[in-house]
Structure 1
Amino acid sequence: MKIAVLGTGGGGRAHAAKLHELGHQVTVGTRDPEATLARTEPDMMGNPPYRQWLADHPGIPLATFADAAAAAELVINGIDGHNAVRALTALADQLAGKVLVDYAVPFIYNPDTEHPWPTPWGVMPRLDPVDIDSLGEQIQRALPDVKVVKAFVTQEQDTVVSPRAVGDGDGDHTMFIAGNDADAKQAVTQLLKNYGWSDILDLGDLHAARGMEMYAHMHSAIGFALGGHFGIKVIR
């Protein structure tokens, strides 16, 4: 399958590498390819310069967001949540009729809050939107011709692409998805199965994206307590 991964951060890199390994035709999208390749410093999360990563992963082309989306059958959104709606709206023509998997969290970094939450890497970001709306729903409203599926957002992305990396190595933890189109959710479910997931829980329509995105803070708290990656299992 032809798949576009929008974003060159750690999550986008994890998906691109795994999809390429699985035999998909992957293109990574970025705002400005020349600027991305010219960077020589790690990004805000400490990932090495993209040019260095690209040299270790030949065969994965880098293109603009528009060119990557236009050539794809399925698109994975790894654009940071604060900029995602604006960036994706500009791609309306290239995304029309396609499945868009959104794993972005609507974080506002370095918030000026009365009661900041200190973390090992700085103040915990603030969620916006939160509670009465979600980024997934905002994207769907902005792009009514796109089949938006919220998924991957309740795990670190390197765990999403390798669920057996945590626990006893059996990958038996739960991945959540939500969306308004049944066929689109089935396509994402199949992709998750290819990644190695066996327990995929459909939460219903995109309203559920609110809970999935708000879970980000709880996931962080558990991760800080454990000092590493983990999985959540829903026991029926």
Structure 2
Amino acid sequence: MKIAVLGTGGGGRAHAARLLELGHDVYVGTRDIEATLARTEPDMMGNPPYKQFLADHPGITLLPFADAADAADFVINGIDGASALKALTAIADRLTGKVLIDYAVPYLYNPQVEHPWPTPWGVMPRLDPCDTDSLAEQIQRALPQTKVVKAFVTQEQDTVVNPKAIGGGDHTMFVASDHADAKQTATDLLKAYGWTDILDLGALVAARGMEMYGHMHAAIGMALGMGNHFGVKIVR
């Protein structure tokens, strides 16, 4: 299949590399190709320059967001949560009729809050929207002709594309959408990645809980020690 991954961060790289390994045609979208390829220093998460990633993964095509989306059968959104809605709205016409799998967390970094939560990387980001709305629902309202599904968001993306790295793969992934075929697309991809326990949470409104879980995931990660990846298992 032809699959677009929007975003060049660590999560997007994990999906692009795994999709290429699975034999798909992979198109990676970025805001500015020249700027992306001109970077010579690691990004804020320590990922090496994207030019190096492309050299290590021949076959991946780097394009502007709109062209990557236009080339694909379906799209994975890895644009950071603070920028995703604006960036996707700008290319709405290229996403018409397509499935968009969104894993962004709507984090606002360096927030000015009354009771900050200190973390090893600074103050815990603030979720916006939160509780009464979700980023996924905002995207769906802005792109009514696109079939949005929330998935992948409750794990590090390295684990999403390789679930067996944790507990032999015996943990749970979640999907939510207002479109049954969108959920099936996400489910089929998760099975190709190696997931065997996929829980359908129902309509896209469930994305609120999935996004808010980001704080709990961070808390568990800090308790276990940063870098010690883990999975969550729903015991029936």
Could you state the TM-score of these two structures normalised by the residue count of structure 2? 0.98
Q: Residue 183 of structure 2 is aligned with which of 178, 182, 185?
A: 185
Aligned to 2:69: 69
Unaligned runs of 5+ in 2: none
Write out per-residue CA displacement over residues 3-45 of structure 1, whole angstroms, 9 at most, x where no aligned residue: 0000000000000000000000001000001110001111111
Alpha-carbon distance between aligned partners in 2 of 1:121 and 1:68, rounded to the nearest angstrom: 32
User: Shift of residue 113 of structure 1?
Assistant: 1.1
Matches within 5 A, 1:1-236: 1-167=1-167, 170-227=168-225, 228-236=228-236
| Deviation, structure 1 residue 83 | 0.7
Structure 1 gap ranges (5+)? none
1:26 match: secondary structure: strand
Cα distance in 2 between the residues matched to 1:151 and 1:232: 14
Name the CA distance, whole Å, in 1 between partners of 2:78 and 2:213: 18
Q: Secondary structure at the match of 1:233?
A: coil
Identity of counterpart residues, as a percentage?
A: 78
Aligned letter for 1:211?
G
- Alpha-carbon offset, residue 133 of structure 1: 0.2
Name the CA distance, whole Å, in 1 between partners of 2:47 and 2:125: 19
Q: Which residue identity is paired with 2:64?
A: T
Deviations 1:111-139 (A, max 9, x none): 11111111111111000000000000000
Return the offset for 1:166.
Answer: 1.1
Distance (whole Å) between structure 2 residues aligned to residue 111 and residue 58 of structure 1: 39
Please, what TM-score do these two structures have when normalized by structure 1? 0.98
Distance in structure 2 (CA, Å) of the matches to 1:108 and 1:45: 16
- Describe the SS at the equivalent of 1:145: coil
Q: Which deviates more from structure 2 when the two are superposed, residues 33-42 or residues 44-53?
A: 44-53
Runs (4+) of structure 1 exceeding 4 A deviation are: none
RMSD over equivalenced CA pairs, Å: 0.6
Q: Following the alignment from structure 1 to structure 2, what is the Cα–Cα distance between the partners of residues 184 and 77?
A: 14
Q: What is the alpha-carbon distance in structure 2 between the residues aligned to residue 184 and residue 210 of structure 1?
A: 18
Q: Which amino acid aligns with 1:102?
A: D
Q: Partners of 2:24 and 2:102 in 1: how far apart?
A: 19
The offset of 1:49, in angstroms, is 1.0
